[in-house]
Structure formats: C-alpha cells, structure tokens
Amino acid sequence: MEKWVLSAVLLLSFQIWHGKAQNSMDHFPKGARSVGMGNASLTLNDPWAVFNNIGALANAPDEIAAFAGYDHRLGLSELTTLAAGMVLPSEKLGNFGFGLSSYGGALFNQQQIGIGLANQLGLASLGIKLSYFQTNIEGFGRTGRPVIEFGGTAEIIPGLFFGAHMYNITRSAISKSSGDFLPTSLKAGISYRPSQNLMINLETEKELRSPAQFKAGLAYNFEEKFWARTGINTQPNNLFFGIGFRPRRYQIDYALSRHYLLGFTHHFSVNYNLSAP
C-alpha cells in the first residue's frame, strides 16, 4: 500500500511538471496575495514580485522586507511548496530581491535560489533575475541549471498599468542529456485601479508546450487593513479566493485555489517590514 501511494505521488508530480494535470509552473511560489487573485500578479509591486515579475520590484515600497510562504497542495505533503526571500532597496542601483524555494518530497523535488535587480528607467520599471534551478528524481539523480528571467511594468495612464514577464529566456533544459526543458513562459497583462480600494487585473500566459492561459483577478480593500480577493483561470479552469490583513509591520495573506479535477490547495504567506520603527 505504501509503495502504491508513493508511486501515485511521483506520477502526479510528473503530471504537474509536464502540464498534464495543471499548468507546469503551478507549483512555483507566488504568495497568497497573488494566488487569491488567480495569479494575475504581473503589476503587483509587493516583495513577492521577486518570484512573480522581477520588473515590478522597482516600485516596491522603499523598505527592507522579508517574506515567506507555504502552499499545501491537494492535502499531500509531497506536493508542498515552501518559499522565502528578502528585498533590499538601494538608492543608486534600485531594489535587490533574493528568493529561494523548495517543492516536492523524497521521490521528486525541485529547489531554486535566485537574485534579481529592478530599477525605474523613465516611465518603466524593469528588472532581471538569475536563478539556479535544481531537480532531483529518486533513481535518476540530480541536475541543476541556470535560469534567466526579466520583466517590466509601466503606468500607461493614471490608474492603468501594463506588465510583461518572460521566464527561462535561454531555454535551459533539466539536464544536458535530457530532452525535457524547464518551462519557458511569456506573460502580459493590464491592471485597472480606479481607486485605492479596487484593483482589477487581466493577464494571459503562454508556455511553449501548453495552450495560452487567461487569468482574471479582483481585489477590494476594506478600511486600508483588510482585503478580499477572487480570481479565475482558464486552461485549466480554476477558481481562487483570498483574504489579507495588515497589522502594523506585517502583511498576512491566505488563499484557497480549486483545481477542477484535483481539488483544493491552501496558500499562506506573510511579509514583514524590517524598516518600520
């Protein structure tokens, strides 16, 4: 029985990786704020931009911030994602971002560690990030490859923002001898913010091996400290819900995502402002 369960978990991990069960980048860390809005997060300039769109980090608040997150996928510890990072502002160079994450269990797991830099250049916020991505498969060994990504955001007119991001622009493979490549994806979208209380995000994402995915997210702010969020994806069809709370130095977020076949995943994340008095 135990061997059957382990085999099922390994098979599901491969399905997730190859995009058969869900988007092959679905297990990458994103933060519960992003997940609550259906991962329509290209223009969000919070610390989780280190993972979601390094280009948005240039507009992050001028503060040292640490953040961490936990995704408990489908009730299985073998499909859990852990992530943490830090943002360090610099007056001359822009904002530096550091991030590391781990996904999977003993049979199949992946880790990545990366550093990025974003700066405001005219109307656009642009950034680039270099990561080291490692994959370990029981019985097949361990491989690691560098990954480059870049992105940017711009305020087109007051209240209307555009964002774009490209991941793995060099088409790095899992290993030199493997025919399997790490995901290469391109994302683009807009964010409409008619007031400080309301945000509506629309995005599309295309991986080379998968159909284009549409994302829509909405967030509403109640009395500056409490947020309610919802979102939807296509290819496959997923629903998302989330809440957020900001007590003083902290920002605490929770999100719930529902895969149309596999069930629910819980997402938790917390940001901590190290610069606040």
Which domains are present in the chain?
2-273 (2.40.160.60)
139 φ/ψ sector (left φ>0, alpha ψ -120 to 50, else beta): left
Q: How far apart are CA 110 and CA 254, in angstroms?
A: 24
9 vs 126, residue with greater confidence = 126
DSSP string for residues in 3-20: HHHHHHHHHHHHHHHHTS
Least confident span in 65-69, 154-158, 213-217, 259-263: 259-263
Pairing verdict, β 141-157 and 160-167? antiparallel
Structure tokens at 5: 């369960």
Q: How far apart are CA 107 and CA 104, in angstroms?
A: 8
Residue pLDDT, tens place only, 83-141: 999 999 988 899 999 999 999 988 899 999 999 999 999 899 999 999 999 999 888 88
Report the candidate in 50, 60, 53, 46 with the shortest Cα–Cα distance to residue 152.
53
Helix (H, G, I), strand (E, B) or coil at 49: helix
- Quick one: pLDDT at residue 20? 41
Cβ neighbourhood burial of 148 (10 Å; 0-12, 13-18, 19+): middle
Can you list the positions of beta strands (E) in the chain? 65-73, 81-90, 94-104, 108-121, 124-137, 141-157, 160-167, 185-195, 198-207, 213-222, 226-233, 238-245, 250-259, 263-273
How large a percentage of the chain has pLDDT more than 70? 89
CB 194 within 8 A of CB 178: no
Cis peptide before 236 (omega within 30 of 0): yes
DSSP string for residues in 14-46: HHHHHTSSS-TTTTS---HHHHHTTT--TT--S
Residue pLDDT, tens place only, 172-198: 887 766 667 888 999 999 999 999 899
Q: How far apart are CA 35 and CA 257, in angstroms?
A: 7
Query: Under 8 Å CB-to-CB from 118, ≥6 apart: which residues?
Result: 49, 54, 55, 56, 57, 58, 60, 94, 95, 97, 125, 126, 127, 128
Enter the pTM of the model. 0.88
Structure tokens at 9: 């978990």
Q: What type of residue is 32?
A: A
Q: How far apart are CA 124 and CA 145, in angstroms?
A: 30
